[in-house]
Amino acid sequence: MKKFAFGTLFLGVAVLSACGNGGSSDSDVAGDEQELADELYFFNWGHNIDEQILADFEEEFGVEVIYDTYASNEEMLTQINSGAISYDIIIPTDYFIDRMIQMDLLAELNMENIPNFENIAEEFQDLEFDPENRYSVPYLYGSTGLAYNTEVFEEPPTSWEVLWDPEYAGKVTAHDTSRDFVSLALQRLGKSINDLDDASLEEAQGILGDLNDNVLKYTTQPAAELISGQTVASLAYSDQAGIAMAENDAIAYVLPEEDGGMLWMDNFAIPSNANSQYTAEVFINFMLGAEVSKMLTDYIPSSNPNAAARELMSEEELSNQASYPEIPDSSEYYVDPTQDETRAINRIWNEVRAQ
């Protein structure tokens, strides 16, 4: 999932008694004879956690959290590959988990140290990118759908076709990412976002020129344009739609019924060269506590895969259509493309934008 800027935050250490914040205490996980490290190196998307959660972990466990952020999966992977810093926790998006498993970059988890995994709703366990959750645990999930202005659209749009409609020329946005851009066309053509053969990509490119003519701006952060009314329909990550909906009552969000939408999940994972796998697993278990997990999505307008946390939410929170939209059967997670497929997607992106 796309986020924001890169930065570093050092949070202080306090060795105090457990504060009952919804996470497991040290004695609640297996392997009490193992020792916690003095420091936990955490590499996460920017603006993707309430810093108070990190302070609470420090207070309960006496471990200093050294927190760095990244703006893309590619940036994270480059850093992990470089080995410049040995991180204990990272948050890759779904298909990047699969890629990193193939590259031998992730440690297999000891689930005895993560008993709160039972809080993860069954539908978010054992997904295709990591069967049996051997290497990852769900963190947050969301979707890529259509944010739209209800003063313009009386009924929710059922297809991506509205982004191509000449009536809205100069009033729509699309993502400035090649994969999402091409996926729009594939779904509009009734294909899977993972149909990346030459014929499918050529067909997709054939209709993307008209979309390019309609687009006011390419951005993964269209909330400002939606709030101001500058755009009436945008390809949007669900958290961006949530931000816009909170500021402008006219904005709504939907996964188009006919075409589906793109699904994503960010996940806890531990690099194979982590300083302390045990400390990382204690941290994951802490984060999966019901109250801590709810605190996470109180701060971030993403969707929470933690069933125990959702039991603590109000009906209003659970009915938020940005966080918990109806998901059509045709909605899909991305599969990691081959290098040739990636080159073809990027070529289409560059050629269409150059028109």
- In the chain, the domains with their CATH numbers are 8-141+264-318 (3.40.190.10), 142-262+328-353 (3.40.190.10)
Gyration radius from the chain CA atoms: 21
Which parts of the chain sit beneath pLDDT 50? 1-28, 30-32
In contact, 333 and 325? CB cutoff 8 Å? no
What are phi and psi for residue 68, nearest 5 degrees? -120, 155
Token couple for 139: 């963190």
Cα–Cα distance, 315 to 303 (Å, whole number): 14
Closest CA to 116 of 21, 16, 22: 22
In contact, 242 and 301? CB cutoff 8 Å? yes
Residue 127 pLDDT: 92
User: For 177-329, where are the alpha helices, taking DSSP H only?
Assistant: 178-188, 198-214, 223-228, 238-247, 277-287, 290-299, 307-310, 315-318
Residue 33 pLDDT: 63
In contact, 119 and 300? CB cutoff 8 Å? no
Residue 74 pLDDT: 86
What are phi and psi for residue 327, nearest 5 degrees? -110, 110
Which residue is listed with tokens 């944010």? 147
Residue 177 pLDDT: 87
